[in-house]
Amino acid sequence: MGKKRIITKTKEELLKEREKIEVAVQKVAEKTPSGKVKEGRVFIFSSYNNTIITLTDAAGNVLAWTSAGKIGFKGTKKATPFAASKVAEAITQAIKKIGIEKLSVKIKGIGSGRESALRSLIAHGLDIVSIKDVTPVPHNGCRPPKVRRL
Protein backbone atom coordinates (compact mmCIF):
# COMPACT_ATOMS: atom_id res chain seq x y z
CA MET A 1 0.00 0.00 0.00
CA GLY A 2 2.92 2.35 0.53
CA LYS A 3 3.94 4.89 3.09
CA LYS A 4 1.80 7.80 4.16
CA ARG A 5 3.49 10.88 2.85
CA ILE A 6 2.71 14.23 4.38
CA ILE A 7 4.45 17.29 3.03
CA THR A 8 6.58 18.88 5.74
CA LYS A 9 6.93 22.63 5.54
CA THR A 10 10.25 24.45 5.68
CA LYS A 11 10.95 27.20 8.19
CA GLU A 12 10.44 29.85 5.52
CA GLU A 13 6.98 28.52 4.66
CA LEU A 14 6.02 28.39 8.33
CA LEU A 15 7.16 31.99 8.83
CA LYS A 16 5.14 33.16 5.82
CA GLU A 17 2.06 31.36 7.12
CA ARG A 18 2.53 32.88 10.56
CA GLU A 19 2.81 36.36 9.04
CA LYS A 20 -0.44 35.82 7.13
CA ILE A 21 -2.24 34.84 10.32
CA GLU A 22 -0.84 37.83 12.20
CA VAL A 23 -1.91 40.22 9.43
CA ALA A 24 -5.44 38.75 9.47
CA VAL A 25 -5.63 39.13 13.24
CA GLN A 26 -4.43 42.74 13.06
CA LYS A 27 -7.09 43.60 10.46
CA VAL A 28 -9.81 42.14 12.67
CA ALA A 29 -8.33 43.73 15.80
CA GLU A 30 -8.58 47.16 14.16
CA LYS A 31 -12.30 46.63 13.64
CA THR A 32 -13.06 45.37 17.15
CA PRO A 33 -13.22 47.92 19.98
CA SER A 34 -11.28 45.84 22.50
CA GLY A 35 -8.53 45.08 19.98
CA LYS A 36 -8.38 41.33 20.63
CA VAL A 37 -10.34 38.40 19.29
CA LYS A 38 -11.73 36.27 22.12
CA GLU A 39 -14.57 34.39 20.48
CA GLY A 40 -14.47 32.53 17.19
CA ARG A 41 -16.35 30.17 14.95
CA VAL A 42 -15.00 27.05 13.30
CA PHE A 43 -16.75 25.84 10.16
CA ILE A 44 -16.08 22.21 9.19
CA PHE A 45 -17.09 21.33 5.63
CA SER A 46 -16.69 17.66 4.83
CA SER A 47 -17.50 16.37 1.35
CA TYR A 48 -16.83 13.03 -0.29
CA ASN A 49 -13.61 14.48 -1.73
CA ASN A 50 -12.11 16.85 0.85
CA THR A 51 -12.38 18.37 4.32
CA ILE A 52 -12.13 22.15 4.69
CA ILE A 53 -11.98 23.91 8.07
CA THR A 54 -12.38 27.69 8.34
CA LEU A 55 -11.75 29.83 11.41
CA THR A 56 -13.63 33.13 11.69
CA ASP A 57 -14.24 35.74 14.35
CA ALA A 58 -17.72 36.43 15.76
CA ALA A 59 -18.51 38.83 12.88
CA GLY A 60 -17.62 36.24 10.23
CA ASN A 61 -14.25 37.62 9.10
CA VAL A 62 -11.98 34.75 8.05
CA LEU A 63 -8.86 34.49 10.21
CA ALA A 64 -7.45 31.19 8.93
CA TRP A 65 -8.46 28.21 6.84
CA THR A 66 -6.97 24.92 5.84
CA SER A 67 -7.91 21.80 3.92
CA ALA A 68 -6.61 18.30 3.40
CA GLY A 69 -5.24 19.29 -0.01
CA LYS A 70 -3.43 22.30 1.46
CA ILE A 71 -1.72 20.09 4.02
CA GLY A 72 -0.43 17.73 1.34
CA PHE A 73 -2.89 14.90 0.87
CA LYS A 74 -3.70 14.01 -2.72
CA GLY A 75 -6.48 12.14 -4.48
CA THR A 76 -8.76 9.87 -2.48
CA LYS A 77 -6.59 10.26 0.65
CA LYS A 78 -8.04 13.77 1.11
CA ALA A 79 -11.43 12.29 2.00
CA THR A 80 -10.16 10.04 4.83
CA PRO A 81 -10.80 10.61 8.54
CA PHE A 82 -7.03 10.66 9.13
CA ALA A 83 -6.65 13.62 6.78
CA ALA A 84 -9.53 15.40 8.52
CA SER A 85 -7.86 14.98 11.92
CA LYS A 86 -4.62 16.43 10.53
CA VAL A 87 -6.56 19.41 9.16
CA ALA A 88 -8.10 19.93 12.61
CA GLU A 89 -4.61 19.84 14.18
CA ALA A 90 -3.43 22.53 11.76
CA ILE A 91 -6.36 24.82 12.53
CA THR A 92 -5.84 24.23 16.26
CA GLN A 93 -2.33 25.65 15.95
CA ALA A 94 -3.77 28.76 14.29
CA ILE A 95 -6.38 29.09 17.06
CA LYS A 96 -3.71 28.94 19.74
CA LYS A 97 -1.50 31.49 17.93
CA ILE A 98 -4.39 33.93 17.66
CA GLY A 99 -5.42 33.37 21.27
CA ILE A 100 -9.11 32.62 20.84
CA GLU A 101 -10.73 31.45 24.08
CA LYS A 102 -14.26 30.33 23.12
CA LEU A 103 -15.32 28.51 19.97
CA SER A 104 -18.59 27.56 18.38
CA VAL A 105 -18.39 24.78 15.80
CA LYS A 106 -20.64 24.43 12.77
CA ILE A 107 -20.46 21.22 10.75
CA LYS A 108 -21.66 20.92 7.17
CA GLY A 109 -21.56 18.04 4.72
CA ILE A 110 -21.79 14.27 4.62
CA GLY A 111 -18.17 13.18 4.27
CA SER A 112 -16.26 10.73 6.42
CA GLY A 113 -14.14 13.48 7.99
CA ARG A 114 -16.90 15.12 10.03
CA GLU A 115 -16.57 13.10 13.21
CA SER A 116 -12.80 12.79 13.25
CA ALA A 117 -12.27 16.52 12.69
CA LEU A 118 -14.59 17.37 15.57
CA ARG A 119 -13.03 14.75 17.87
CA SER A 120 -9.58 16.10 17.05
CA LEU A 121 -10.66 19.65 17.95
CA ILE A 122 -12.06 18.43 21.27
CA ALA A 123 -8.95 16.34 22.00
CA HIS A 124 -6.68 19.39 21.69
CA GLY A 125 -8.36 21.01 24.69
CA LEU A 126 -10.23 23.87 23.02
CA ASP A 127 -13.13 25.49 24.88
CA ILE A 128 -16.04 24.59 22.58
CA VAL A 129 -19.26 26.35 23.56
CA SER A 130 -21.62 24.89 20.95
CA ILE A 131 -21.68 22.31 18.17
CA LYS A 132 -24.25 22.72 15.41
CA ASP A 133 -25.00 20.68 12.31
CA VAL A 134 -25.88 23.03 9.44
CA THR A 135 -26.02 20.45 6.63
CA PRO A 136 -28.65 21.57 4.10
CA VAL A 137 -31.53 19.13 3.81
CA PRO A 138 -33.79 19.23 0.73
CA HIS A 139 -37.51 19.35 1.43
CA ASN A 140 -39.85 18.53 -1.47
CA GLY A 141 -37.05 19.26 -3.98
CA CYS A 142 -37.15 21.49 -7.03
CA ARG A 143 -40.04 21.69 -9.46
CA PRO A 144 -40.06 18.83 -12.00
CA PRO A 145 -39.91 19.65 -15.73
CA LYS A 146 -43.11 19.90 -17.77
CA VAL A 147 -44.37 16.77 -19.51
CA ARG A 148 -42.89 16.43 -22.99
CA ARG A 149 -45.40 16.74 -25.84
CA LEU A 150 -44.75 15.40 -29.32
How do residues 88-98 score in pLDDT, each as one tens digit?
Answer: 999 998 888 88
Q: Catalogue all structural domains in the chain, each as residue range(s) with its CATH number.
A: 11-133 (3.30.420.80)
* pTM of the entire predicted model: 0.76
pLDDT over threshold 60, residue 34: no
The CA distance from 66 to 94, in Å, is 10
Query: Confidence class of residue 23 from pLDDT cuts 50, 70 and 90?
Result: confident
Read off the pLDDT of each residue in 60-69 and give the average, rounded to a whole number.
91
Q: What is the predicted pLDDT for the residue at 131?
A: 95
